Amino acid sequence: MRTPLGKLRGSYAAITLDARPRRLPRTEAKKAKEKLRTEIAQAKARLEKLQAQHHALPRRVSVAEAQKGQAVVKRSTERKHLTNVVKNARLSDRE
């Protein structure tokens, strides 16, 4: 969500800079800037709403709580060992 907001701000700055040396007519620049202002305000409001939702979520959730009514499936030891070997190989490749 932050990326579109940054793009909108960049567009606003570009229009403002283009309007300075009279490359863009004033009325066109005003209309474009007003439209971008409303889009920026909407994007900010949406970002704040999403951040509030994010902060309302609990930091940690237990497995039992996340899978209410479902049986917890445990991996077999061989599969877990294979997964750990693959993870370690991937980590050693990065170094």
| Residue with the larger pLDDT of the pair 2 and 42 | 42
| Residue with the larger pLDDT of the pair 85 and 8 | 85
The full length of the chain comes to 95
Angle between helical axes of 26-56 and 2-19 (0-180°, round to 10) = 160
pTM above 0.85, yes or no: no
Average pLDDT over residues 61-75: 76
pLDDT at residue number 49: 94
Token pair for 76:
């077999």
Token pair for 79:
């599969």
Residue 82 has pLDDT above 70, yes or no: yes
Please answer whether residues 43 and 5 qualify as being in contact, where contact means their C-beta atoms are separated by less than 8 angstroms: yes
Query: For the chain, what percent of residues have pLDDT higher than 70?
Result: 87
